[in-house]
Structure 1
Amino acid sequence: MERCPLNIFTRRCTVLQRRSWKEDWPHMKIIGVDLDSTLNNLDAVWLERYNKDYGDNLTKADMISWDVTHYVKPECGKKMYDYLREPGFFRNLGIQPHAAEVMSFLHEYFEVYIVSSSHPNVVADKWAWVEKHLPFIDYHHFVPLHHKHRFEMDYLIDDGPHNFDRFKGTGILIDMPYNQHLRSKYKRCTDWLDVKDYFQTLIRKEERW
């Protein structure tokens, strides 16, 4: 009988270990993942639209607090939020570097939900974005929700500092200029590869048990 190459055997063993680890864990850990500026590139496109429409040169680095109206021109003000209610706006956003591959990795080991504060006008567009960029996430795991602390999760990956105020799980903060005041209160990740490193460490600890 022809022997299987070692690398094929190793890959098969790895898949079996992943399935066993996930299926045998009696209480699978739940990860909630924010969508806007965490998975997609809302921050870049939003500012690009504003700068074009109002003749400004505002950058993400300029915004050191959450309320964007503090930084836009007075004639824009709260109209800045009209972009976020515009049909089709969210559907056409890009994805953050390495986000898709890391989300696929997390999906192998955890129960992963997309948890996003959404105006009713754009819920369908956000789901269309998830279908396009993260096709392994089914609609049962897409949750439009403003008060994220009310959704029971073990981990929350988010850029919005206010989303951690009443969250009882472990917060994974995506590094942004407007959340620097939280300093080291939560695990801070600079990018999606950093997120993967954090969870890989947790998985190794579990597998040693």
Structure 2
Amino acid sequence: MTKKRVAIDMDEVMADALGKLVRLYEKEYEPVDPDKLHGKLLEQAIRPEHSHVVREYLFDKDFFKDLEVMPDSQEVVKAMHERYEIFIVTAAMEFPDSLWHKYNWLQEHFPFLHWKNFVFCGDKSIIQADYLIDDHPKNLLTFSGEPVIFTSPHNVHETRFRRVNNWKEVGDMFLE
């Protein structure tokens, strides 16, 4: 019996990139009002004259080095790994300095996954899987399998896809 294949995005699904962006911004500028993030990317929720700093943070060679792990993701992905063929799919090519740090981060926090199951790409439409769990609608729109949107403040108004709000809900969807 062939296992079904699940592709999982890394940033804002497994790794808390937004949390780090907010901490960096608040350290340098001012507190971020969480209500202003509702339905927006961070660069849209802060002062317009500061919006450029978000990309600067993302292009910092060490940004992706020490992201926090999303709650329950390790346990759920490990359990899913027993039943499904798991691929971590990240659009790392947009931030080329991130490749080494993303690889090391995955090795550290998800050591049960083989490096052959890491896909560093630019355009996720090339991914062939049964499911894609991602926070960005643009990646889900071009996906040929079943798209699953992982809740992040920027996508709360999105209604076109099946939604999971956290890793416990991912577990409920894939492990029950």
Fold equivalence (TM over 0.5): yes
| Partner-residue secondary structure (3-state), 2:49 | coil
Partner of 1:63: 37
Report the equivalent of 2:53.
79
The gaps in structure 2 that reach 5 residues or longer are none
Q: Using the aligned pairs only, state the percent identity.
A: 28
Instruction: List runs of 5+ in structure 1 lacking aligned partners.
Output: 1-24, 202-209
Match of 1:91, SS state, is helix
**1:199 matched to which residue of 2?**
174
Q: Within 5 Å, give how 1:156-195 maps onto structure 2.
A: 156-183=132-159, 185-195=160-170
Q: 1:6 matched to which residue of 2?
A: none
The question of whether the paired residues in 1 share the 8 Å contact of 2:64 and 2:102 is answered with yes
| 175 and 61 in structure 1: CA distance in 2 versus 1, 3 angstrom threshold | farther
8 A contact 1:160–1:179 mirrored in 2: yes
Structure 1 pair 90/76, CA: closer, same or farther in 2 (3 Å)? same
Could you tell me how far apart the structure 1 residues matched to 2:112 and 2:34 are? 31
The one-character-per-residue Cα deviations of 1:137-168 (angstroms, maximum 9, x if unpaired) are 12111111231121111101111122111112
Q: How many angstroms does 1:59 deviate by?
A: 4.3
Matched, 1:121 2:93: no
Counterpart of 2:80 in structure 1: which amino acid?
L
Larger RCO, structures 1/2 (Cα 8 Å, 6+ apart): 2
**Paired residues, number:** 174
The residue matched to 1:75 in structure 2 has which SS?
helix
Cα-Cα RMSD? 1.6
Partner of 2:84: 110
2:126 corresponds, among 124, 135, 150, to 150
Q: What amino acid sits opposite 2:165 in the alignment?
A: T
Q: Which residue is equivalent to 1:132?
A: 108
1:109 aligned partner, one-letter code: R
Describe the SS at the equivalent of 2:142.
coil
Q: CA deviation at 1:60?
A: 4.6
Further displaced range: 58-67 or 129-138: 58-67
Residue identity in the other structure for 1:116: T
Specify the code of the residue in structure 2 equivalent to 1:74.
Answer: P
**Preserved contact between residue 12 and residue 152 of structure 2 (Cα < 8 Å):** no
**Is 1:91 the counterpart of 2:65 in the alignment?**
yes
Structure number with greater Rg is 1
